[in-house]
Amino acid sequence: MNSSISRQLVFWLAVPLTLLALCGALFHYVDTVAPQVLTADRELREAAAELVPRIAGDAITGFPSAPLEPALRFAIRDASQTLLAGDPSLPLETGGDAGKPVFSTVRIDRLNWRVLVLQTATPRGPLRIALATELKAENPAARIGFMSRLLWDFVQLDVTLVLIWLGIRVGLRPVRRLRDEIAQRSPLDLRPIPDNAVPSELAPLTATVNRLFVMLRTAVQSQQQFIANTAHQLRTPITGMLAQLDLLAADPAAAPIKQRLATLQEGVRQLSHASNQLLTLARADPAVNVAAKHQSLSLNALAGETVAKFFDRALLSQIDLGAELDPVEILADPSLIDDLLNNLVDNALKYTPAGGRVTVSVGLADGQPFVAVEDTGPGIPPEERQRVRQRFYRLPNSPGHGSGLGLAIVEEIAGLYAAELSIEDAANGQGTRVCVRFPAAPRA
């Protein structure tokens, strides 16, 4: 899962701020509780200083049997933990070395007591002395003040984290703007990203992306130029070959090889058609400045010209070529749309048998301009309708010697204008309907 910069920043700020808040609460607690503990420790030291000389100076008897002060308890035990005097409830599990007191806080009879344990040498041997004084219950006002302070510290922490998060969100706006600008671009738009309004932190990223755009633009232009040059270099000699073959076929001396010449002419025509399609692919390939290719054109008029262009071929093939054209305007490059229509009609005529019908339709559907070519040919199986869009792919057992570029060119040109290419069954269930739907024109 992708990590979020804002979450990481909030996390790494929340941890130390939380620790600081806890340290502040601990300091406040120590500041309110420590004075009472220090006072109790001082009282216990003073009591021990008074008690120890009396015990050390008495060899066997004379141990005090009553508290030194009303608020103090004591207990004296020998090395075997036998109680010699004082309060048996005072613990003596731990004790310091001779002359070194050990302080602790214990709970006796639901009260907190501060206990001092020390060891002293006497004629009877080492004795352990425990002195205890009660830690008074905390002042309710002080406890409420402590809790209020703790609550306020964490409220401040929460508010601080929210403000930090908002600040991070605002600070990352340039990153989001840069992301949106790149995301909204067409894959064909390789213009450099303007860096005049980019923060200095994003300037290296913008410069890197712009360098990548330059490299992509150069690669696309090189590939497009290579295909275009190759197609042009092929088309000129092929046209000359066709002219020479036509002249040779018309010569009476070539009658014995007329059939072979006809086969050769057909092959050269296929080669010419393939080179023209490669040229069309080169022109339809992603370019650097597609916006310059957009101009208003009448789709129905262009479709009518295409139908007229293929009318003689349809008559020779005994195919009924018709048109249903409603006035429609789109923004596109006329030459590319002409290539799109030519390939659609050429494919339909190629795969429609004699006596069939091909219909070219232009109109609006749900506000979207469309052009559709419907035929009564063998149709395209649903499982093959995605593959026939690929370059150089032809259906098994397809008639003729096509190159498999027709629908690939149509989809390439449609993609330039964000149009949608769909392949469907014909209306009567026999044949294929290929439709290109263009985006609806924006309202003025």
We report the CATH number of the domain holding residue 130 as 3.30.450
Same domain, 225 and 116: no
pLDDT of residue 187: 65
Structural domain contains residue 177: no
Same domain, 340 and 385: yes
pLDDT of residue 291: 43
Same domain, 363 and 300: yes
Look up the domain containing 208 and give its range: 203-280
Average pLDDT, the chain: 79
Same domain, 131 and 245: no
pLDDT of residue 308: 93
Instruction: Decide if pLDDT at 94 tops 70.
Output: no
Same domain, 232 and 270: yes
Structural domain contains residue 171: no
Mean pLDDT highest for which of 8-22, 55-69, 86-100?
A: 8-22
With a pLDDT cut of 90, the percent of the chain lying above it is 16
Structural domain contains residue 209: yes
Interval 13-41 mean pLDDT: 75
Same domain, 413 and 349: yes
Same domain, 274 and 301: no
pTM over 0.75: no
pLDDT of residue 246: 81
Which CATH number do you get for residue 368?
3.30.565.10
Structural domain contains residue 182: no
Same domain, 47 and 92: yes
Structural domain contains residue 397: yes
pLDDT of residue 442: 55
Same domain, 235 and 300: no
pLDDT of residue 423: 92
Structural domain contains residue 443: no
Same domain, 240 and 302: no
Q: Greater confidence, 66 or 112?
A: 112
Of 252, 280, 308, the domain-final residue: 280
Q: Greater confidence, 288 or 383?
A: 383
Structural domain contains residue 92: yes
With a pLDDT cut of 70, the percent of the chain lying above it is 81
Structural domain contains residue 183: no
Same domain, 132 and 101: yes
Q: Greater confidence, 277 or 309?
A: 309
SS (H, E, C) the chain: CCCCHHHHHHHHHHHHHHHHHHHHHHHHHHHHHHHHHHHHHHHHHHHHHHHHHHHHCCCCCCCCCCCCCCCEEEEEECCCCCEEEECCCCCCCCCCCECCCEEEEEEECCEEEEEEEEEEEECCEEEEEEEEEECCCCCHHHHHHHHHHHHHHHHHHHHHHHHHHHHHHHHCHHHHHHHHHHHHCCCCCCCCCCCCCCCCCCHHHHHHHHHHHHHHHHHHHHHHHHHHHHHHHHHHHHHHHHHHHHHHHHCHHHHHHHHHHHHHHHHHHHHHHHHHHHHHHHHHCCCCCCHHHCEEEEHHHHHHHHHHHCHHHHHHCCCEEEEEECCCEEEECHHHHHHHHHHHHHHHHHHCCCCCEEEEEEEEECCEEEEEEEECCCCCCHHHCCHHHCCCCCCCCCCCCCCCCHHHHHHHHHHHCCCEEEEEECCCCCCEEEEEECCCCCCC
Count of the separate structural domains present in the chain: 3
Same domain, 211 and 263: yes
Convert the pLDDT of each residue in 309-365 to its tens digit: 999 999 999 999 999 999 999 988 888 899 899 999 998 998 899 999 999 999 999
